[in-house]
Structure 1
């Protein structure tokens, strides 16, 4: 491995660590002739691994930004539907959930979150009200993690409820439920600074059959890779933050790092020409970014 700037290399090895950085030079290694040996392809520089590391970090930040917006939207959609149909505290009715054991675990987890919460609105509710003891659904939604929310959403007994929550996104409820679980998994990778760009996922999402532009954008040959996630996030951002240039930022980031193997990320050939990635030239950033 070529090390053109020793001071820079020492800085990254000290502040990123050898073990973490090593994951980013694995693509530049040749197959070992002897088990346990490591040999780099000719001309490999530590700068290549650093470039991939920086790209992956920027990618995680971009994905986290989008998942945050989608999570907030899902919270609001879940709370709004249940409040309108079942009342402010109807979300606590075990009869609207499919699996009692899952409901009991989700409720226990939620009660723990409420107990630990220092949010002003929770403190105010506890001081002013004791019947019902638990806060209304729109408050409960605010203290839920995305993982908790995905379990409450997925356990709703009636398909009509799940479909009503999914409808504003133009997705089937099965797709939305699987996506909520999947985005929880992806968010946790990002939050714990894990490698994302060429990750092979263990928690996948259901490939949507609609809308047409999103269906065409999917790569069914790479369901465990990142590309389908990015395409779906881009579609949802167009709904929850229509003025955002998130897709444009993603495309620029991908173009900025030729070392990032698009095939390892699951990108299909000529993906930029697909309708889902056609970004209007007149589109500009909204205050939401």
Structure 2
């Protein structure tokens, strides 16, 4: 079938929303938002307000303000999630570089035997070389000017130019399980959980970085559910493992380890209160979620 939908003006878009049952009491307000927010982009948020997805009619009482509130909530949620991911990423970089340098030497990443045969070493080292070539960091130019061998800087410098996606591959690509476990132990979880969560977070981070809808999204790659610590497992929603709630639980766990005394949980709770229109069950939040160990302030220790 050939695509035949015509382009529409902002006023026509507002008329269409009203025709489908949305209440737009302030057209100037709606016009402003639709001037700066693509109608198609905002459509991902009013989808949850539709009573019939085939005809795109809205549930009775749906306001344009409700859609904007949901959009703003999602934007603020992305910023909150990115804050936690940033801290986790910096911490993982530190632990990966520290452990490998101590166990295998300052240039451990140049030793292919440290990594699995299935690990695409050539491609990953090529990415590192490309990033170093583009980097304007002083520590990179300093190494080039002062040292001739090895050609590339030590692992603690190289890790600082890696993306989260690349770091995830380098961590999961380690040959020795005890190397992966030594890193995971810092965060009181199993190495399988750590490596799968890093892969999962790479996808989540990309969604956030490209300003994509996050709040009720099912991320394609699901992080492994940790069986231990037991209290962490009890904090998860095992019935809806693909929803964002479990991602938030694991981020909260990492924040507790990396930054004790943080206010990340308080900011999350405040965000949910501020945007009470949001259906948190669509995010995978179970009833009584704040009473679960991770949110109730119970110290989660590995093995418990």
Residue among 20, 29, 46 paired with 1:8: 29
Q: After alignment, is 137-146 or 96-105 more displaced?
A: 96-105
Distance 1:229 1:38 in 2: 31
**Pairwise mapping of residues 136-285 of structure 1 onto structure 2 (< 5 A)?**
136-279=154-297
- Alignment partner, residue 7 of structure 2: none
Could you tell me whether the CA contact under 8 Å between 1:198 and 1:225 is conserved in 2? yes
Give how far 1:243 is off: 2.0
Relative to 1, partners in 2 of residues 1:227 and 1:99: Cα closer, same or farther, differing over 3 Å? same
> When the two structures are aligned, how many residues end up with a matched partner?
277
C-alpha displacement at 1:6, in angstroms? 1.4
- TM-aligned CA distance change 1:201 to 1:100, over 3 Å: closer
Give the Cα–Cα distance (whole angstroms) in 1 for the partners of residues 183 and 271 of structure 2: 32
Matched, 1:65 2:83: yes
Are the equivalent residues in 2 in contact too, given 1:217–1:276 (CA < 8 A)? yes
* Root-mean-square deviation over aligned CA pairs: 1.2
Q: Which runs of 4+ in 1 moved over 6 A?
A: none
Please give the secondary structure, in 1, of the residue aligned with 2:149: coil
Q: CA separation in 1, counterparts of 2:117 and 2:34?
A: 49
The residue aligned with 2:39 is 18
Q: Any idea what the Cα deviations from partners look like across 1:210-263, whole Å, max 9, x if unmatched?
A: 222211111111121100000110110011111211011111111222221112
Structure 2 equivalent of residue 113 of structure 1: 131
- Residues 119 and 173, structure 2, Cα contact 8 Å, conserved in 1: no
Q: Structure 1 residues 231 and 100 mapped into 2: Cα distance closer, same or farther (>3 Å)?
A: closer
Q: Which residue of 1 aligns with 2:146?
A: 128
Assess if the C-alpha contact under 8 Å between 1:214 and 1:276 holds in 2.
yes
The structure with the largest alpha-carbon Rg is 2
Following superposition of structure 1 onto structure 2, how do residues 23-38 of structure 1 map, counting pairs within 5 Å?
23-32=44-53, 35=54, 37-38=55-56
**Contact 1:94-1:100 at 8 Å conserved across structures:** no
CA contact (8 A) 1:247 1:279 kept: no
Match of 1:99 among 73, 92, 117: 117
Mapped to 2, the partners of 1:53 and 1:166 lie a distance apart of 35
* Structure 1: segments with no counterpart, 5+ residues: 281-289
User: Residues 39-72 of structure 1, C-alpha deviation per residue, up to 9 Å, x if partnerless?
Assistant: 1111111111000000000000000011000000
| CA gap 1:174/1:119 in 2 versus in 1, 3 angstroms | same
| TM-score using structure 2 length | 0.89
Structure 2 unaligned residues grouped into runs of 5+:
1-21, 299-304
Q: Secondary structure at the match of 2:215?
A: coil
Supply the distance in 2 between the matched residues of 1:94 and 1:41 (Cα, whole angstroms): 59
Distance 1:266 1:203 in 2: 16
SS in 2 for 1:169: coil
Take 1:73 and 1:4, find their aligned partners in 2: how far apart are those partners?
A: 48
**Could you tell me how far apart the structure 2 residues matched to 1:180 and 1:38 are?**
37
